[in-house]
Amino acid sequence: VRFPEDLEDDNTTFNPEYSHQVFGDDEVAFGYKGLKILLYYIAGNLSTLFRIEYTSKVNEKFDCVEADDVESKIREIIPPGFCTNTDDFVSLLEKEVNFKPFGMLLHTYSVHNEEAGEDITYQIYKADMTCPGFREYHERLQTFLMWFIETASFIDVDDERWNYFLVFEKYNKDGATLFATVGYMTVYNYYVYPDKTRPRVSQMLVLPPFQGEGHGAQLLETVHRYYMSSPTVLDITAEDPSENYVKLRDFVLVKLCQDLLCFSPGKLIQGFSQEMVMEAQQKLKINKHHTRRVYEILRLRATDMGDAEQSRSYRLDVKRRLIGPYKKKQRELAKMRRCLRPEELTNQLNQIDLNMQHEQLEESFQQLVSDYRRVLERLAQA
């Protein structure tokens, strides 16, 4: 909500992707007709209005059952101090002009908005719990995780090893410049013996009204650039990354790596090298596993897949990496031959069908190339 009229505007409304963490695996609130759970957030500081509406509700006379206590379930997620009536919420909205982003400004960029016909400015900040008011703001911000990340959990904000990176949109209201929350990322700094840290991306969310505009890539690249300048950082990883995050990371890391000398077309054709691993880690804080994916994407760009020899060379190179898990199975099988009874061995052999492995390997390769091409298409448009 930026303006009072937004309260009645369905265009500013978005629905949760998940609600199982609040309402169970069936995602059902029992005992209501026409139930609406309404959560409004002021665009900048995320002050909250919470309201429940329904046309009817079962009572105890109805087969001795009770309706679910929806309000208590929501109160477990949203922090205390929220509004329950619109007038209080609108009076808070009038004070929004005083809200300013927390922490240190790291990056400013603009995105062209077709609907508005103008470029809109966005800024990325790094904050921590020492910033006045940030703890309370973060409590409101993290409530979105429950609705948009499938396995989300709230973090221990008293642990000083957390870093917070926030994206805001700058907009004008009655001649004043205001800020709207776009998304954020939390990063945990793990200790690596003897004197390094390994930042691990924990949670990353761009709010639905801003998705598809490139903010995730801007945020991840800014976070990488922030850590790149630190001599104590070993490399940057992610905790249990989603498929979408992996695709985003591929794009950002390829964009960062493509100008390194070790990834020049001549060197790519020679194959994956230790030089690539060293340079990507030292200059860009990218680990070996991610560097290998970057190499495969950039080598695909440098390969003429219409040329039979080049295409075969690329396919064999990628499949040599993909075949690793299958080779592990073969080693396990060799051990089994030595210690299993014949009937047990037959059972295990049935699970390791070589023809099936080749089919799976080819399928994995084709899927990978398809994903890599999408990264390269996005890179060409960037």
Give the pLDDT of residue 280: 97
Which of the residues 239, 359, 362, 363 is marked catalytic?
239
Closest CA to 170 of 253, 239, 113, 92: 113
Give the pLDDT of residue 323: 86
Give the pLDDT of residue 377: 97
The fraction of the chain above a pLDDT of 90, given in percent, is 81
Give the pLDDT of residue 310: 96
| Beta strands, E only, 233-360 | 237-238
pLDDT by residue (tens digit) across 186-200? 999 999 999 999 999
pLDDT by residue (tens digit) across 134-159? 999 999 999 999 999 988 889 999 99
Q: Residue 172: enclosing H or E segment and its boundaries?
A: strand 162-173
Give the pLDDT of residue 115: 81
Q: How far is CA 34 from CA 9, 11, 53, 58, in A?
A: 19, 20, 8, 12
* Architecture field, domain 98-300: 3-Layer(aba) Sandwich (3.40)
Residue 176 has pLDDT above 90, yes or no: yes
239 is known as an active-site residue: yes
Class of 4-96 in CATH: alpha beta
Q: At what angle do helices 324-339 and 342-351 cross, to 10 degrees?
A: 170
pLDDT by residue (tens digit) across 235-291? 999 998 999 999 999 999 999 999 999 999 999 999 999 999 999 999 999 999 999
Give the pLDDT of residue 352: 53
Closest CA to 242 of 292, 287, 205, 288: 205
- Residue 286: CB atoms within 10 Å: 25
- What is the spatial distance between Cα 173 and Cα 154, in angstroms, rounded to a whole number? 33
The residue-averaged pLDDT of 177-192 equals 97
- What is the spatial distance between Cα 171 and Cα 247, in angstroms, rounded to a whole number? 30
Residue 350 has pLDDT above 90, yes or no: no
pLDDT by residue (tens digit) across 327-342? 555 566 566 666 666 6
Q: At what angle do helices 274-284 and 243-257 cross, to 10 degrees?
A: 90
